[in-house]
């Protein structure tokens, strides 16, 4: 397959999140990910991070540093804190 394509007859484009549009020509798995992104198609962030590059830490007051991977809203707060970002 040419760069940016994979699959039978090379008819499927690599995920846009793959750096330089590089993916395995059979599976479509990204050959690398930007920032802290992870997963076969760079679709996930490690626990405790969010944002386009998964490089923004969830607030320390999010329970287990667990927050939404897109906007950083805490799933729940540690005792004594409340609000979307557990900052109240």
Taking the domains of the chain in order of start, what are their residue ranges?
1-44, 47-88
CA 73 to chain centre: 15
Give tens-digit pLDDT for 37-78. 999 999 999 999 999 999 999 999 999 999 999 999 999 999
Using alpha carbons, select from 27, 4, 20, 2 the residue that is nearest to residue 39: 27
For range 19-24, the mean pLDDT: 93
Mean pLDDT of the chain: 95
Classify the C-alpha dihedral 22-25-31-33 as positive or negative: positive
d(CA 50, CA 66): 9
Which residues, other chains included, contact 85 with Cβ-Cβ below 8 Å and sequence gap of 6+? 59, 61, 62, 72, 73, 74
Q: Which pLDDT score, from 0 to 100, does residue 1 have?
A: 93
Q: In angstroms, rounded to a whole number, what is the distance separating the alpha carbons of residues 82 and 11?
A: 49
Report yes or no on whether pTM surpasses 0.85.
no
């Amino acid at each position: 397959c040419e760069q940016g394509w994979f699959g039978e007859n090379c008819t499927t484009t690599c995920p846009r999140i793959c750096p330089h549009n590089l993916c395995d020509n059979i599976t479509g798995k990204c050959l690398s990910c930007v920032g802290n992104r992870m997963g076969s198609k760079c679709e996930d962030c490690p626990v405790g991070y969010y944002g386009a590059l998964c490089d923004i830490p969830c607030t320390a007051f999010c329970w287990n540093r667990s927050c939404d991977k897109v906007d950083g809203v805490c799933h729940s707060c540690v005792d004594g804190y409340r609000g979307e970002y557990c900052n109240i």
